[in-house]
Structure formats: structure tokens, C-alpha cells
Amino acid sequence: MGIDVYENLQTGEAVIELSNTFGSSSRKEFFEAYSSFDPSRNFLLDFNAVNDIDDSCFGMLLLMSKYVRFDAEITITGCYDNLANTLDLSLLNGLFKIR
């Protein structure tokens, strides 16, 4: 697993770098990663290393969006095309900025 978490000192964003697999096995670690920051923070989820997801990924993203305040942003970066397309189809792209 191994989710890395840090603050980007230039932007003030809470950065969460996900590992190779993002799914049910990383649920607890992912929750601890984002809940360690104030919910008013902007978040950046880095999917660059992710090669494998399962359907619990979408539930975890939805729970995170409920944790973060309405005026804060969650940006997803580095996701591969199929994941970006799936986020579009699931309508979760309305909750996140995808770049």
C-alpha cells in the first residue's frame, strides 16, 4: 500500500499520493490520510502510481467529498484515461476537478 501525505507549501494543498492499488484494501489508510487535514483545505489526489482500482474506490471518493467543506476543492491528477472516463460516467466528476 503506502499512501504518501504531505502539504504543498506553495499552494497550501493537502496532497495525497496514492499507491499502485486503490480499493478496499486501502480504505482505512486513505481515510486516515485525508482526515488528518482540516476539512476546509483544498486537496490534491495524485493517481500517477495507480494501476488497479476496484468499485470501492468510488465510495471512498464520495465519503471524502462529504468530509471536505463545500467551499474547498478536491483535484484529481494523473488518472489514466479509463478512470477519468469512469468518473465522467459516474457523475463524480461534478464533485472533483480532474486534470
Structure confidence by residue, pLDDT tens digits, 49-96: 998 888 888 899 999 999 999 899 999 999 877 777 777 777 676 788
The DSSP code for 69 is -
pLDDT at 47: 93
How far does the chain reach from its first CA to its final CA, in angstroms? 24
CATH value at residue 13: 3.30.750.24
Say how many domains are in the chain: 1
Share of the chain above pLDDT 70, in %: 96
Q: Is the dihedral of CA 67, 5, 73, 29 positive or negative?
A: negative
Q: Which domain holds residue 76?
A: 4-98
